[in-house]
Structure 1
Amino acid sequence: MFNKISLALSVTLLLSACATSPTGRTQFAFMPDTQLNQMGLQAFDSLKRENPVSTNQRHVQFVNCVSDAIIREVGGKWEVVVFEDNSLNAFALPGNKIGVHSGMVKFVDNQDQLASIIGHEIGHVLARHSNERVSQQMAVSSGMALIQAVSAPQTAMGQTALGLLGVGAQYGVLLPYSRLHENEADKIGLDLMAKAGFDPRQSVTLWQKMARAGDGQQPPEFMSTHPAHATRIQELQNAIPRALEIQKQAVAQGKQPRCSK
């Protein structure tokens, strides 16, 4: 009897796990989005409690200006926070939360490079990559303990949960997205920044700059969780002509962001 119930639950789980990403890829993601959003909210609240929020108004206004332009293309209400941290990092969490470190704000040369980063991170959220990662982990571990652990980020389980959501380096845990997820976030992010009127060519310049920043030394935190390979830059370059057409249409519609660093 127990085996029959287990089999039925397994079949139900597999059927409910069938989902499709924005690029048309089949996903294994069975967690309710409301649950992931709650995890994202808890994680973001923990980050704001334990990490200083920037009071540099130039940085805050610059990040908000870029974020707002992209968010208009996505829809919904998003919270954007600049953290006072010199590391090169940025992230977006389920529940529509975006975090950008001040080090990344200083690192980028212009609005378009920051748009590339923010678009990429939002791409992870839109493609439900955290849901996939948490679903896979829950399929082989103690599920509820993982969900509840987000509220205790200093614990080992809490660190794992934060890493699955796409953040956690602050606690010594780096769980890089898969190459598949990275490629998908790149595509979605490139389209988003172009639709908002930003120059998609700057995404290539940004990753080239990232690669130089990690040359011969410890790679920047952002590169540790978002590997920048020559193949990635090449794939972005291949996608630029299409993205430029999207940007051209956006500009014709009056979308011309003017965000000063």
Structure 2
Amino acid sequence: MNRKMLFIPCIAAMIIAGCSRNAITGRNQLSLVSEEQMQATAVTQYKQFLATSKVVPATTSKDAEMVRRVGTRIANAITQYYTQKGQGDVLKGYQWEFNLVDSKEVNAWCMPGGKVVVYTGILPITQNEAALAIVLGHEITHAVAGHGRERMSEQLLAAGIQEVGSAAFSMSNNPQAVNIFNQVYAPTAQVGVLLPNSRKQETEADHYGLIFAAMAGYNPKEAIPFWTRMANLGGEKPPVFLSDHPSDQDRIQKLEQLMPEALQYYKPVTK
């Protein structure tokens, strides 16, 4: 038996061993890297990003203060939701941070452990707190649902067995693993990576993002006009925020289908 024939069953065994069922979404996910390792790497990469970016101080900017206010409400709603589902341990190690960065880029993202960035370029599109809550609910869902860990595991597996084993046990000391981390997460995430799986993740982020925004006191119906405005941006090169997302028509149709469920969680925020 040649090496190639041995390699295939080894990969199959690793996939089986590395899969786990997400307690909230119910979907099986590949997980070759621990959440603790992901969070540790996120802290380092997040600090490096903030150190080289124009962070807008919340003490002097109403927009930055809004990002932190809305983000905190979303984080509290997520904590409540996971606790009610008996899955509070999923958020173990989360130390939430919400920062607004001065950039024309229409984007927002969340790293493992609750490290969130919103770019000023997306605020003219959100236009209000409820739409910002839709964005943050969506992006934070990616983190708490383990989407980044899943995508990174797939790329590690694609890189080869040796790389997977090495990165899985000593990720912080493995430059290749850190490089893959940066390919998966903004600000250096590449467009068009693992599109088929990413579509599933985007649908989950839309679904639970609506629920979390509603629980935080923001009208989930704001998702429809927000995504309509995003669609109207057009152009040959869509915003990074849309790079792996479903088509505008499919997304809006699905959001409308999900709206009755989300509205069950909606209680207007008290200023």
User: Above 0.5 in TM-score?
Assistant: yes
Equivalent in the alignment of 2:45:
43
Does 2:208 align with 1:182?
Answer: no
**Structure 1 residue ranges without an equivalent (≥5):** none
Equivalent in the alignment of 1:15:
17
Give the CA RMSD over aligned residues. 2.8
- Aligned amino acid, residue 110 of structure 1: N
SS in 2 for 1:189: helix
CA 1:106/1:123 → structure 2, altered by over 3 Å: closer, same or farther? same
Does 2:250 align with 1:231?
Answer: yes
In 2, Cα distance between equivalents of 1:111 and 1:219: 23
Aligned-residue offset at 1:225: 4.2
- Aligned amino acid, residue 136 of structure 2: I
Equivalent in the alignment of 2:230:
210
**Structure 2 residue ranges without an equivalent (≥5):** 80-93
Aligned-residue offset at 1:42: 1.9
Equivalent in the alignment of 1:85:
103
Which of residues 39, 55, 69 in structure 2 aligns to 1:65?
69
SS in 1 for 2:56: coil
CA 1:257/1:223 → structure 2, altered by over 3 Å: closer, same or farther? farther
Greater shift, 98-107 or 49-58, is seen at 49-58
Aligned-residue offset at 1:159: 5.2
Equivalent in the alignment of 1:122:
140
Instruction: Please give the per-residue CA displacement for 1:211-232, whole angstroms capped at 9, x wherever unaligned.
Output: 0012x45322212243442111
The count of aligned residue pairs is: 241
In 2, Cα distance between equivalents of 1:103 and 1:175: 21
Equivalent in the alignment of 1:163:
183
Report if the CA contact (8 A) 1:120-1:190 is conserved.
Answer: yes
CA 1:190/1:149 → structure 2, altered by over 3 Å: closer, same or farther? farther
Equivalent in the alignment of 1:101:
119
Aligned-residue offset at 1:128: 0.1
- Aligned amino acid, residue 184 of structure 2: L
SS in 1 for 2:158: coil
CA 1:29/1:167 → structure 2, altered by over 3 Å: closer, same or farther? farther
The sequence identity of aligned pairs, in percent, is: 27
CA 1:241/1:42 → structure 2, altered by over 3 Å: closer, same or farther? same
Report if the CA contact (8 A) 1:89-1:101 is conserved.
Answer: yes
Equivalent in the alignment of 2:240:
221
SS in 2 for 1:80: strand
Aligned-residue offset at 1:77: 3.2
Task: Give TM-score, length-normalised by structure 2.
Answer: 0.79
SS in 2 for 1:246: coil
CA 1:9/1:102 → structure 2, altered by over 3 Å: closer, same or farther? closer
In 2, Cα distance between equivalents of 1:257 and 1:80: 21
Equivalent in the alignment of 2:91:
none
CA 1:223/1:13 → structure 2, altered by over 3 Å: closer, same or farther? closer
In 2, Cα distance between equivalents of 1:53 and 1:238: 37
SS in 2 for 1:99: strand
Report if the CA contact (8 A) 2:156-2:177 is conserved.
Answer: no
Task: Give TM-score, length-normalised by structure 1.
Answer: 0.81
Aligned-residue offset at 1:104: 1.3
